[in-house]
Amino acid sequence: MGSIFKTEAGEKEYYLCYEKSLECFELEGTSYYITTTSGDTYVTRFGDPGKEPLLLLHGMTMSSTMWFPNIQHLVQERCVYAVDVMGDFGKSKPALAIKNRQAANQWLLEVVDALQCSRADLAGHSMGGFLALNFALAYPKRVSKLLLYAPAGAFHRVSLKFFAKIYPALLFHTEKRIDQAFLWFSGKGEPLPPVFRAQVLSGYSHGKPLLQLMPSVFEQKEFIDYHIPTLLLIGDKEVIYPAGKAMANAKSLIPGLEAHLIAGASHSLTMEHAGAVNELTVRFLQRKPIDMA
């Protein structure tokens, strides 16, 4: 396996676009691969290594470069590790496909162990949010705080319209179909920023994701004894599920949940409404964690 790309030329083009997107961070980062049983995981570290760690898991097909509007604020509080999800678009190189929740957790556990994080804050957008919560439920002692941005599934099943929008873009990968899919995610009705859009188009054109895990709704029994401080942000114009219902379900499952509906935001809230997301995130990170002993 080793690559999600159909050709070496396609992979090279995507990597060039990826590097241009990284320039939008306007921040020096250190990138490297971590070897896991699922393959080689690409991680970029930003900020002071002496600070507490925060791992970021991106949304489906977005890669770690999606965090460019957020990273400047996050490094004020944490040493940030942006992780390319194994089998998804990005620079990680899969050795095998992740097909279930257990395999996803094993992959992420190996990453956390390799980073020598006895405990870390964990944040994720969309599919990354699902993966983050999945890990927190399985390994609560390894997660200090959990930050969920419009997590896919998790608290409410994903709308069938989501699959009707995203799969034609993946299968036929025309610019029109890809733009239509991301416009649907937009609360402002705006296209992706040009540099990042070029990377997304390149990924859809030349790659095929190998992450075979579908986001699902977690059962109530999984939250027994759940005490991780958790932040949940969902746009009030969310399109992948009813925002209010998802938030109500989350509040019924997670004691002391801090939850906010972001006015005017849809699924692309971390990019389009970065100001509100960054402010709430930094405030949440600054709070002293509850003693989990």
pLDDT at position 1 is 61
Residue 80, judged by CB atoms within 10 A of its CB (0-12, 13-18, 19+), counts as buried
Among all chains, which residue has been given the structure tokens 């873009």? 169
Domain ranges of the chain: 8-286
Query: In the prediction, which pLDDT does 292 show?
Result: 43
pLDDT of residue 67: 98
Dist CA 251 CA 290 (whole Å): 18
* CA distance linking residue 292 with residue 68, whole number of Å: 32
| Residue 234: C-alpha distances to residues 10, 78, 80, 183, 226 (Å) | 34, 23, 22, 17, 21
Distance CA 137, CA 81 (A): 21
Which one is catalytic: 156, 206, 267, 273?
267
Instruction: Give catalytic status of residue 227 as yes or no.
Output: no
Task: Write down the pTM of the prediction.
Answer: 0.95
Mean pLDDT of 57-72: 96
pLDDT at 179: 86
pLDDT, residue 184, reads 82
**For residue range 202-235, what is the model confidence (pLDDT) as tens digits?**
999 999 999 889 999 999 999 999 999 999 999 9
Confidence category of residue 12, pLDDT binned at 50, 70, 90: very high
Which of the residue ranges 60-64, 133-137, 160-164 would you say has the lowest mean pLDDT? 160-164
What pLDDT is recorded for position 241?
95
Provide the CB-side half-sphere exposure for 93 (13 A, CA): 10
**What is the C-alpha separation between 128 and 151, in angstroms, rounded?**
7
Topology given in CATH for the domain delimited by 8-286: Rossmann fold (3.40.50)
